[in-house]
Structure formats: structure tokens, C-alpha cells
């Protein structure tokens, strides 16, 4: 099956994982001006759960500390449960082809069947508070969490 065919078949799973991650990320941007990486899991029954990680119990963690913990936590959940997809949201700078660099909400989506895509929602901080969001785009990419790379229990 081609990547395009797999993408078309799994589009609903992508939406059900990515949408709550984008919504939460946008809310954090509007309320706090930033957000730490956070994730979502989709089980075989279609239930979505949001997940977070923090090395600092007082919540003063950095993205570079949170992301590896979040990835490991997602891999552990895949080993322990009947998950079919995972997603990770983070604040990144991206350079769309032929365009200048921009900040964006990135949602990395990895599916048990091997599809890995990164969804980007560019944003800009407005001069007088608030944010404007651009046109979302999707790129086929390689896994970062690689939750199904090894034996799945």
C-alpha cells in the first residue's frame, strides 16, 4: 500500500489524535505564550487520551527535558496497551518550502501500521497580544517516538 493510500485510509485517526493536541496547544499559546510538549494516544476502540510528562514536580520544566520523557512514556504505553496511534505536539520553528521560517505547532503522528506524518500549524504573535494562525500543512516524515519499532507486547 502506498503512503498516499495509507494516509487516506487513516485520515480519521490522524484527525482524532491531532485535533485535541492543536486545540490544547493553541489554548496554551493564548493563555501563557508557550507550551511544553504533550501527547495523545488512540486505542483500538477509538478512545483518545491526552498525556504529559514533567521531570520537575513544580512544573518548571524545559521542552528539552520533557520531550524525551514524553517519548519514553508513549513507548511504554504502546508496550502495555492496545494502542493504534500516538501524537506529540511541540512548539517548533519550521521553514516551509520556498517560504521564510515561522513558528508553528507541530503534531507528530505515528500509527501502528507504519504511517508517520508531521502536521504543522504556523502562527505569529500579534503586535498587541494574541496570535494569528496560518494554513496548516502535512509532511510525510520519519518516526521520532518509534513506538512500534521493536517487539510490541
Structural domains of the chain, count: 1
Cell of 45: 476502540
Q: Are 21 and 39 in contact (CB under 8 A)?
A: yes
Which residue is it, cell 498525556?
A: 51
**pLDDT tens for each residue of 55-65:** 776 667 788 88
pTM reported for the whole predicted model: 0.91
**Per-residue pLDDT tens digits for 115-143:** 999 999 999 988 877 899 999 999 999 99
Strands 38-43 and 102-111: unpaired
pLDDT (0 to 100) of residue 129 = 74
CA gap 7, 18 in Å, rounded: 14
Q: What does the pLDDT read at residue 59?
A: 62
For 18, the grid coordinates are: 491531532
Is 152 inside a domain boundary?
Answer: no
In a domain, 153, yes or no: no
In a domain, 148, yes or no: no
- Domain annotation covers residue 8: yes
48 alpha-carbon distance from chain centroid? 13
Amino acid at each position: 500500500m502506498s503512503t498516499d493510500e495509507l494516509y487516506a485510509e487513516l485520515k480519521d485517526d490522524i484527525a482524532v489524535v491531532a485535533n485535541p493536541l492543536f486545540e490544547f496547544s493553541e489554548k496554551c499559546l493564548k493563555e501563557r505564550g508557550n507550551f511544553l510538549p504533550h501527547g495523545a494516544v488512540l486505542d483500538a476502540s477509538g478512545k483518545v487520551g491526552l498525556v504529559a510528562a514533567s521531570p520537575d514536580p513544580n512544573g518548571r520544566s524545559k521542552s528539552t527535558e520533557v520531550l524525551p520523557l514524553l517519548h519514553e512514556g508513549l513507548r511504554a504505553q504502546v508496550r502495555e496497551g492496545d494502542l493504534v496511534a500516538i501524537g506529540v505536539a511541540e512548539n517548533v520553528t519550521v521553514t516551509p518550502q520556498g517560504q521564510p521560517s515561522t513558528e508553528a505547532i507541530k503534531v507528530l503522528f505515528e500509527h501502528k501500521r507504519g504511517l508517520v506524518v508531521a502536521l504543522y500549524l504556523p502562527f505569529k504573535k500579534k503586535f498587541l497580544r494574541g496570535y494569528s494562525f496560518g494554513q496548516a500543512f502535512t509532511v510525510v516524515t520519519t518516526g521520532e517516538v518509534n513506538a512500534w519499532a521493536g517487539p510490541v507486547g
